[in-house]
Amino acid sequence: MSRSVLAVSVAVLGLAVVARGQRPEIIDETGTSAPKLVKRFDPVYTSVALNAKLTGAVHVSAVILTDGSLDNVHVVKSCLGHDADPLPHPPVLFPCVAPTTNPTSSDVDASLGLNDAAVDAVKKWTFQAGRENGKSVRVQVELVVPFRLP
């Protein structure tokens, strides 16, 4: 028996709305519903990223299992940049960069630890599993973890 994995892209802010007790969003006519965020942990800003005024977002891929826990959590891309104003007008859009798969000794972590902070936070999140035809199913998601200066 093969286990199917549904794919859905979910923004953290969208999940937060569902987590406040609203019904899960029906994502297709078969009665498939998206997972609901139950518990969210904010990422910890690294001191070096804070001092550098690094802001933006990290996109994290994960599989939400049928028990609501997460598996295969990893960074898909980082959209981070240095911003002197925490609320720029108009908003600053930073270029997105995929993480280096084979870093060398000369590579520097351009995320200044925020990629790892995003993954560490997301690994602690819990969900109500997505459902298909009345059964809990595994769901592949892409979560957006924002980093804003305090």
Domain positions in the chain: 5-143
Residues of the chain with pLDDT under 50: 1-4, 7-26, 84, 86, 88-91, 104-107
Can you give the pLDDT at residue 31? 65
Task: Name which of 150, 125, 102 is nearest 42 in CA terms.
Answer: 125
Full-prediction pTM beyond 0.85? no
Structure-block tokens of residue 54: 């690094």
pLDDT, tens digit (0-9, with 9 covering 90-100), for 89-108? 444 556 677 776 555 443 45
59 torsion bin: left (phi>0), alpha (psi -120 to 50), beta (else): beta
Peptide bond before 150: cis, by omega within 30 degrees of 0? Answer: no
Can you give the pLDDT at residue 30? 61
Structure-block tokens of residue 108: 């520097």
Task: Name which of 118, 145, 123 is nearest 46 in CA terms.
Answer: 118
Residue ranges of the alpha helices (H) in the chain?
Answer: 12-19, 47-51, 114-124
CB 126 within 8 A of CB 69: yes
- Give the CATH class of 5-143: alpha beta
Can you give the pLDDT at residue 14? 35
Task: Tokens 């953290």: give the residue.
Answer: 12
Distance separating alpha carbons of residues 9 and 101, to the nearest angstrom: 22
CB 64 within 8 A of CB 131: no
Can you give the pLDDT at residue 15? 36
Can you give the pLDDT at residue 3? 47
Structure-block tokens of residue 132: 């298909």
Q: Given CA atoms 7, 98, 52, 122 in this order, what sign does their dihedral have?
A: positive
